[in-house]
Structure 1
Amino acid sequence: MKIPQGYVSTNTGIDSTKAPLVCKLNRSIYGLKQASRSWFNTFSNTLISQGYKQSKYDYTLFTKGSSSTFIIVLVYVDDIVLASPSPHMIHMAKTMLQQHFKLKDLGDLKFFLGLELSKSQEGIYLCQRHYALAILEDSGMLACKPSAIPMEANLKLHAESGTKLQDPSIYRRLIGRLLYLTISRPDICYAVHKLSQFVSNPHTDHMNAATLLLRYLKHTAGQGILFKANSDTRLHAYVDADWGTCSDSRRSTTGFCVFLGNSLVSWKAKRQTTVSKSSAEAEYQALASVASEIIWLKNLLTDFQVSTTHAAVYCDNKAAIHIASNPIFHERTKHLEIDLHFVREQVTRGVLKLFHVRKFHQLADVFTKALPRNAFLSILSKMGIDNIFLPS
């Protein structure tokens, strides 16, 4: 670290005003850039010395044992989660950690980094109700009129829609908080993805669309995901692409959702990095994205000692499926060579199996476009998105 300005050591004769000297720290000091890294290295080395294995696919995940003695340790900075089928293993892990670190036991997991968890016989319910209400309160929207949809159907937003906001920091802060809310809210994923494209230069139309999203949060503050207890371990995914929908760049939007059994575990809405010349090309790039996600999930599940067979991927574009399944090299797909070989390899190895799905059965539609109310609510019900705070 740099020596503080004006520091003079009488014992060593060091004078910071005469030369740009630095100090070598023997221990990390809270507040420095490397403090968190130093803490994580210390924590991970301690667990590894006790027989835990660090995951290659999530470096904050540590596992030990098997079957009834299996235990998981998940750490985020100084928040630690323990999970095991054996209460005895959890007690032993707590005792071991208390021998090395000063801990505060908060009991059963109910809150973690803004996430709220509720356990029942049906499964585990995950939501961010308090966080959503805090966003509404900070935005002055607690008394607003609720909305049944997060974004108007077929809404077209441009970079210059409306007039420029006088204070763009309000919009940027709101979008930043909404991005964190998408951790448990796939229903707002597309709307937040779309609004986040204008944070550098927000206009009034963008803020109006964000206001409608806040009205939707007022209507669904406690909405979240139910991870069902009777779910199996088969992976399947729905993938879609909306071709050339970005009015400013004409790039397409990739959307997918991945299920473990009948529980939704991963989803994404993202604008593609290149312009596609056809809808088949856009869909094929989306296939490459979901293939990468499925491979990562399969590898991560091995750390949880869960084995999976092939993953079924449902796509509504027959041309993209034929390109992935047919070894013939087409002239028009030359520039897609990397994605082409990657997806084909996974299909050939049996990691993926591609199936055609009709448009009205495509669940990934909710991640590529703003839908009418009935279509939107129908997809949410099929994805297992629920609200336990509503009267039954």
Structure 2
Amino acid sequence: MILVQVYVDDIIFGSTNQSLCEEFVTNMQGEFDMSMMGELSFFLGLQVKQLKEGTFLHQTNYTKELLKKYDMAGCKVSNIPMSTNCYLDNDVSGQEVDQTKFRGIIGSLLYLTASRPDIMFSVYSCARYQAAPKESHMTVVKKILKYLKGTINCGLWYPKGTTSNLIGFSDADFAGCKLDRKSTSGTCHIFGECLVSWHSKKQACVVLSTAEAEYIAAGSCCAQSIWLKQRLQDFGLKLKKIPLMCDNTSAIKITKNPIMHSRTKHIEIRHHFIRDHVEKGDCEVEFVKSEDQLADIFTKPLPKERFFDLRNRLGILSENFLS
């Protein structure tokens, strides 16, 4: 098998057989004016460090440039990207800040989430206030940059030799947004021991209970599980039921009960997507203890100890840890 990814005029490829790589290079150079850059070490802003034990993806150079660009290279260090007592709202009476600068920082941070899932929730929370940013919003954004200063060498670690199992985690922060009382969904998928997909998004509707918020988040996780399952089939790997871990027993019962009753009839039809796939056997929703809910990091600010634990368990490690 040979896998090729093309982006405009950049190509990366790998194969289970060295001769396939050599044949591919010969064919491409025969058709196009191309040059070989050697073993993959940098691609679209992502730095790649290939070791015998696995592969490490990070954006250290990008982070350094980001801090330098916004005069934060010499800032103090923060242990976490967002404090648990952080309260974000429109701050109508607050002092206005440079909108262009604020949007520039947010845009840069959004690209950084490609290898730094640990800042996704905090960045997305700040991104909601780009229309009229205030000093209070800029303070929170700067705290994220201070956190990056202290974790500049962090990235995603993908160890070799892991099992070919896919497992999803879904969680929700009920009515977490103080403005419209909408909940935040957080999901992630682990393939073997590797984090391959993550998601954090405010839900589109207001729900009436924690169970509903968790149910909607589980539906989003199920959709991603089905997509990943189909992609893995393209690579010759066929999986049966995908475990989907949820820490709310009521939400789990809703997925397994096909009968519409007073507690579920007002939920939009599109959110019952997960029921159909549970019945088909594509995925199976299982209970997980709250302390083992890895998606918790994508739904709300966490205390330092809890944040560090989930960050490590998701494989977001410092490059120094590998040496």
Structure 1 and Structure 2 fold alike (TM over 0.5): yes
- 1:142 maps to 73
1:79-90 aligned within 5 A: 79-90=10-21
Which of 208, 211, 217 matches 1:280? 211
Distance in 2 (alpha carbons) for counterparts of 1:140 and 1:380: 27
- 2:310 maps to 379
Which of 161, 186, 195 matches 2:126? 195
Structure 1 residue 340: deviation in Å? Answer: 4.8
Contact 1:161–1:205 (Cα < 8 Å) also in 2? no
- 1:19 maps to none
Are residues 1:123 and 2:59 paired?
A: no
DSSP 3-state at the match of 2:47: strand
Normalised by the length of structure 2, the TM-score is: 0.96
- 1:154 maps to 85
Are residues 1:349 and 2:269 paired?
A: no
1:108-257 aligned within 5 A: 108-160=39-91, 163-257=94-188
Contact 1:240–1:254 (Cα < 8 Å) also in 2? yes
1:36-76 CA-partner distances (Å, limit 9, x unpaired): xxxxxxxxxxxxxxxxxxxxxxxxxxxxxxxxxx1111111
DSSP 3-state at the match of 1:335: coil
Distance 1:162 1:119, change over 3 A: farther
Structure 1 residue 335: deviation in Å? Answer: 2.8
Larger Rg belongs to = 1
Contact 2:97–2:133 (Cα < 8 Å) also in 1? no
- AA paired with 1:333? T
Q: Give unpaired runs (5+ residues) of structure 1.
A: 1-69
Structure 1 residue 390: deviation in Å? Answer: 5.3
Distance in 2 (alpha carbons) for counterparts of 1:146 and 1:73: 40
Which of 26, 35, 60 matches 1:95? 26
Distance in 2 (alpha carbons) for counterparts of 1:225 and 1:150: 17
- 1:76 maps to 7
Structure 1 residue 279: deviation in Å? Answer: 1.2
- AA paired with 2:3? I
Structure 1 residue 341: deviation in Å? Answer: 3.5
Q: Give unpaired runs (5+ residues) of structure 2.
A: none
Distance in 2 (alpha carbons) for counterparts of 1:78 and 1:391: 32
Distance in 2 (alpha carbons) for counterparts of 1:334 and 1:98: 60
Distance 1:95 1:151, change over 3 A: same
Instruction: Name which of structure 1's ranges 349-358 and 182-191 shifts more when overlaid on structure 2.
Output: 349-358
Distance in 2 (alpha carbons) for counterparts of 1:103 and 1:142: 38
- 2:193 maps to 262
Instruction: Name which of structure 1's ranges 274-283 and 338-347 shifts more when overlaid on structure 2.
Output: 338-347
Distance in 2 (alpha carbons) for counterparts of 1:353 and 1:208: 42
- AA paired with 1:359? S
Contact 2:242–2:283 (Cα < 8 Å) also in 1? yes
1:289-300 aligned within 5 A: 289-300=220-231
Structure 1 residue 166: deviation in Å? Answer: 3.7
DSSP 3-state at the match of 2:84: coil
1:88-113 CA-partner distances (Å, limit 9, x unpaired): 11111111111221112111110000
- 1:106 maps to 37
Distance in 2 (alpha carbons) for counterparts of 1:304 and 1:245: 39
Distance 1:173 1:340, change over 3 A: closer
Structure 1 residue 351: deviation in Å? Answer: 1.2
Distance 1:161 1:125, change over 3 A: farther
* Equivalences, count: 323
- AA paired with 1:108? E
Distance 1:101 1:199, change over 3 A: same
1:137-174 CA-partner distances (Å, limit 9, x unpaired): 10111111111101111311001266242421100000
Higher relative contact order (CA 8 A, sep 6+): 2
- 2:252 maps to 321
Distance in 2 (alpha carbons) for counterparts of 1:182 and 1:100: 36
Structure 1 residue 267: deviation in Å? Answer: 0.4
RMSD: 1.4
DSSP 3-state at the match of 2:195: strand
- 1:362 maps to 293
1:167-186 CA-partner distances (Å, limit 9, x unpaired): 21100000001000000111
Distance in 2 (alpha carbons) for counterparts of 1:390 and 1:123: 13
Contact 1:164–1:201 (Cα < 8 Å) also in 2? no
